[in-house]
Amino acid sequence: MRLLLFFFILHLHNFFQISSPQTLPKNTTGYTCNLNQTASSCQTYAFFQPMGPNQLDLASISDLFSVSRAMIAKPSNITSLTSPLVPNQQLFIPLTCTCNSVHTTTTLSYAKLNYTIKKGDTFYFVSTNLFHNLTTYQSVETVNPNLVPINLTIGQDVIFPIFCKCPTKTQVQNQVNYLISYVFQPFDSVSSIASRFGSTTTLIVEVNGDDIRTWDTVFVPVSRLPELTQPSPTSVSFDHMSDRRGEVIGLEIVLGVCGVLLILIGGLWTYRESLWRKKLGKNKVDPESKKFEVGVSLMADVSDCLDKYKVYKFEELHEATHGFDERWVIKGSVFKGYIDGKWYAIKKMKWNACEELKILQKVNHGNLVMLEGFCIDTDDSNCYLVYEYLENGSLYTRLHDSKKERLSWRRRLRIAVDIANGLQYIHEHTIPRVVHKDVKSSNILLDAQMRAKIANFGLAKSGCNAMTRHIVGTQGYVAPEYLSDGIVSTKMDVFSFGVILLELISGREAINDQGKALWVEVYENFNGNEEKLKPKVKAFIDDAILRESCSIDSVMNVMSIAIASLHRDPSRRPSMVDIVYALCKSDDLFTDLSEVGLSQHQVLAR
């Protein structure tokens, strides 16, 4: 039995941009200030859009930012303090911004927010998920030098430095009275921000430089706070939101199976050491020097599930990746490494406990990316996970990189069947069922034979029909019922799979440049009867497929599966079992053109 982890490998979709000259890491500790130029403190605002069920009322937002509800309502043009908020409603949060010296040499500009640690919190989680990247975990570490990030206690008060800036004297003279803190989103451009806040691109670039990246905090210079338009209370519904730009912000939580491994191993070490002590009586053994070997031997002889992992030495991985050289980065903190004549993908992560290991122990399937082993570096408290390396990168890159040769319909169909098989496996053959929760083309990896494997199990949930506290997932793929009510079920994966089918058919991205989701378009355009549908589908199909002499009925059939998978009512979406069956029909259809017509539109006619 091989133990697989098929989650979080590489979000490979920037794979082919590695060589472009933008990879130098940006300062993450915060934004410097100079007391000679700015006031030591000022009143400013952060732009904030609530997400997830826990943030959908003013009270929880005002608690989070330690201000009163009225202080948010007034600048945000909200009249009722008690009516609920909708996801991504626009808010201005008042901040008291100060210039603070953190070391003798560094002064950082931020608003000090008191945050009380709750169960499961990490600096990373709170920074990215609660404060939506208005700060970074590195900055939190810098500002709280006395806290041990991996040993937080519930109820502990931590200062979260919310990034902000005060205008300089020169800026004030030029009528710049506020620098609004705004987190740059994936679909943003400098000019879109300028028009949103009534600023200009020149001013924004002057303050922030021109190397602005996604999730950076941008300071938008304005002379007065722009007026926000708020939804009228009656139109609060998903349909209303879906018309708005950027209605779902994808959250990709880095997870920490590592943490679980570490805890397990730590426990085993302690156990083993106590055994040793008993055996050896008073003979002293230096536990430090033995730790690694002990870990390895324990892995080998104690655990049923862990013994199939290979335990790598740090030196081995260091060498394999040329010292974790930037040029060997696949994406983010995932490196390509060469060990014993084979390529691997090596993910570096911090300690961070969670329950994923439970899930991963249960899965083993050819359409799920496989974990080969891991390594724990006790010196810098990092953990490394080593996965099989998939040569052809992500489906996202393969589909949407214009430099790549277009995939044939046959290939696309195979990929769809592979993904469906992988999902069927986790939905049907694990107890309790596993929901991936972040099915998207960048989490589908392709091997040398262009067979697809599902990666990145980072958000996965075990057990069905649960409600969740935190909305995660990716814009353009998230099922509406999950977004609005936090309902977790296998049918949310079915929905996301439907979106991937649309990508395969149309060759277009799940979210277009205007931030509109592909599935919304399907809701709008593909609701007539079959006769009306056919010409519309033809217009939707990727030109590359149309140029092939492939069976249009095969494409139509897959389109009808996609439409069924995207049904608004989760209970009316087909299960992955139905989908695998229907897709294989398409596959037959394509192989044997004489059978054309037998099964088209079967799913639509449901």
Ligand X SMILES: *[C@@H]1O[C@H](CO)[C@@H](O)[C@H](O)[C@H]1NC(C)=O
Helix (H) or strand (E) run with residue 446 in it = strand 444-446
Residue with smaller CB distance to ligand X, 189 or 465:
189
Residue with smaller CB distance to ligand X, 133 or 512:
133
Residue with smaller CB distance to ligand X, 174 or 214:
214
Q: Which of 188, 216, 418, 438 is catalytic?
A: 438
Residue 328 CB, nearest distance to ligand X (Å)? 21
Separation of alpha carbons 352 and 363, rounded Å: 21
Residue 476 CB, nearest distance to ligand X (Å)? 13
Asked if 188 touches ligand X (CB under 6 A), the answer is: no
Residue 255 CB, nearest distance to ligand X (Å)? 12
Number of residues binding to ligand X, judged by CB under 6 A: 23
Residue with smaller CB distance to ligand X, 317 or 478:
478
Asked if 196 touches ligand X (CB under 6 A), the answer is: no
* Contact region with ligand X (CB under 6 A), list: 225-233, 269-277, 282-290, 506-514: 225-233
Residues 27, 43, 223, 378: which binds ligand X (CB under 6 A)? 27
Asked if 96 touches ligand X (CB under 6 A), the answer is: no
Separation of alpha carbons 364 and 367, rounded Å: 9
Residue 469 CB, nearest distance to ligand X (Å)? 14
Residue 516 CB, nearest distance to ligand X (Å)? 19
Asked if 104 touches ligand X (CB under 6 A), the answer is: no
Number of CB atoms found within 10 A of residue 534's CB? 17
Residues 20, 82, 105, 153: which binds ligand X (CB under 6 A)? 153
**3-class secondary structure for 287-336?**
HHHHHHHHHHHHHHHCCCCCCCCEECCHHHHHHHCCCCCHHHEEECCEEE
What phi and psi values does residue 156 have, to the nearest 5 degrees?
Answer: -70, 140
Residues 43, 118, 157, 591: which binds ligand X (CB under 6 A)? 157
What phi and psi values does residue 100 have, to the nearest 5 degrees?
Answer: -120, 140
Burial of 274: CB neighbours in 10 Å, binned 0-12, 13-18, 19+: exposed
Residues 6+ apart with CB under 8 A from 24: none
Residue 581 CB, nearest distance to ligand X (Å)? 35
Asked if 247 touches ligand X (CB under 6 A), the answer is: no
Residue 121 appears among annotated catalytic residues: no
Burial of 436: CB neighbours in 10 Å, binned 0-12, 13-18, 19+: buried
Burial of 479: CB neighbours in 10 Å, binned 0-12, 13-18, 19+: buried
DSSP state of 340: T
* Contact region with ligand X (CB under 6 A), list: 150-158, 164-172, 415-423, 498-506: 150-158
Asked if 229 touches ligand X (CB under 6 A), the answer is: yes
Asked if 41 touches ligand X (CB under 6 A), the answer is: no
Residue with smaller CB distance to ligand X, 492 or 563:
492
Residues 19, 36, 105, 571: which binds ligand X (CB under 6 A)? 36
Residues 70, 148, 539, 593: which binds ligand X (CB under 6 A)? 148
Residue 254 CB, nearest distance to ligand X (Å)? 8
What phi and psi values does residue 180 have, to the nearest 5 degrees?
Answer: -75, 130
> Which amino acid appears at position 287 of this protein?
P
Q: Token pair 């006769």 is at which residue?
A: 531
Site string for ligand X, 118-147 (x = CB under 6 A): ----------x---xx--------------
Number of CB atoms found within 10 A of residue 266's CB? 13
Asked if 101 touches ligand X (CB under 6 A), the answer is: no
Helix (H) or strand (E) run with residue 271 in it = helix 257-280
Residue with smaller CB distance to ligand X, 393 or 458:
458
Asked if 97 touches ligand X (CB under 6 A), the answer is: no
Number of CB atoms found within 10 A of residue 215's CB? 14
Residue with smaller CB distance to ligand X, 128 or 139:
128
Asked if 250 touches ligand X (CB under 6 A), the answer is: yes
Separation of alpha carbons 270 and 276, rounded Å: 10
Dihedral sign computed on CA atoms, order 196, 167, 45, 29: positive
Distance of CA 530 to the CA centre of its chain: 37
Residue with smaller CB distance to ligand X, 370 or 483:
483
Of the candidates 22, 36, 26, 89, which has an alpha carbon nearest to the alpha carbon of residue 58? Answer: 89
Of the candidates 410, 409, 366, which has an alpha carbon nearest to the alpha carbon of residue 390? Answer: 366
* Contact region with ligand X (CB under 6 A), list: 149-157, 164-172, 545-553, 576-584: 149-157
Of the candidates 549, 526, 551, which has an alpha carbon nearest to the alpha carbon of residue 603? Answer: 526
Asked if 249 touches ligand X (CB under 6 A), the answer is: yes
Residue with smaller CB distance to ligand X, 132 or 347:
132
Residue with smaller CB distance to ligand X, 246 or 464:
246
Residue 132 CB, nearest distance to ligand X (Å)? 4
Site for ligand X in 463-502 (CB under 6 A): none
Binding residues for ligand X, rule: CB under 6 A, are: 27, 32, 34, 36, 77, 112, 114, 128, 132-133, 148, 151, 153, 157, 159, 215, 227, 229-230, 249-252
Mind telling me the catalytic residues? 438
